Amino acid sequence: MTEYSKGLEGVIANESALSNVEGKDGRLSYLGYHIDDLVENCCYEEIIYLLHNGKLPTQNELVEFERKIREDRTLPQGVVDFLKAAPKDANPMDVLRTAVSMLGLYDPRVAIGDPDLVKDEDIGLSIVAKTPIIVASYHRFRQGLELPEIREDLNEAAHFLYLMNGGEMPTDRAIRTLDVALTLHADHGMNASTFSARVTIATLSDMYSAVTSAIGTLKGPLHGGANEGVIHMLQEIGELDKVDEYLEGKIARKEKIMGLGHRVYKVLDPRAPHLRKFAVQLTEELGETKWIKMSERIAEVMRERKGLNANVDFYSATVYYSLGIPTDLFTPIFAIARTSGWTAQILEQLRDSRLYRPMTLYTGPTELMPVPPIDKR
């Protein structure tokens, strides 16, 4: 018998060079680059390249890499037909999960049991390119609207907002804000969805199956759905002068307050200050500062009363809401960003894979019992 750790907490299951989450120090890095420096000096496409290639791109490499992704944005017609036929009130994460799974039906490169890292790298980038199109398409179709023409001259953040806005170009600040949000969510150690992706691909399944597993895992409110909970909380409170009373009630009833604290970070989530800054700038530009002011008061009270810091979900909620993105698309946007990390983690797993087969601590009867005939039970 080995020591039992509920939820695998503290258990090291594999090796990875992709992201280093240093919870005690509140530090996050990708491939040795601090998240602060990456946000300041890189765009999201550079982050995708870094995670997939182990190094930052040169200018020429970035141009070619962007071209490759942008040329792979078009969805198979069968997937488009599904998105148009999907229930208008479906959970967008369910739609995304199903659509990504469907992509595998139209990709002749998919092979089971015989990984080809060159093909799998291309498939991974194809998923990265198509996931934003799936989310934007479903959003437009469920409103009875058409999707604007796919373009190849816009970066990932700009193109997604352009599609969501029905062909209207977003502001530079909106583009930069979403670009930073995608960068901050790209990868984050051995979180639940990344672990599920690696477990799936370790069976020598395929890239689409592994990413589908990850999306299904991210859907849960204890993982990717926290930012939706934050905006619902803000809407429930309603006004800045009602924050304190609301929090006192929550604390007295010992109820969870969304967006505060983190399973790994024991101090400030290093991603939170970046999104806080952009949330402030974006709301000031839009002339609607109520939500960020309420958020700041919640963070202040909870820090003083409970010693809890705001995490990345806390401010991403205000950012997405201010960008005009519907609440039920917050988690799909998380998935859009994390496809870069999931696919990189899947490729890393394939390079030196071992089937995951943990033990379980059996708690049932230890003595075998006779099975009586059905008429004697």
Bridge partners of 30, per DSSP, are: 19, 33
Chain Cα centroid distance, residue 46 = 18
Q: In what order do the strands lie in the sheet with 27-30?
A: 19-22, 27-30, 33-34
Query: In this structure, what token pair is assigned to residue 132?
Result: 């934003």
* Residue whose structure tokens are 């963070």: 299
Vertex 46: Cα angle to 44 and 52 (nearest 5): 105
The set of catalytic residues is 262, 313
- Nearest 5°: phi and psi at 347? -65, -40
Whole-Å CA distances, 63 to 60, 141, 341? 5, 32, 20
Vertex 360: Cα angle to 359 and 361 (nearest 5): 130
Whole-Å CA distances, 2 to 5, 10, 358, 361? 9, 14, 11, 9
Closest Cα partner for 200 from 56, 44, 342, 10? 342
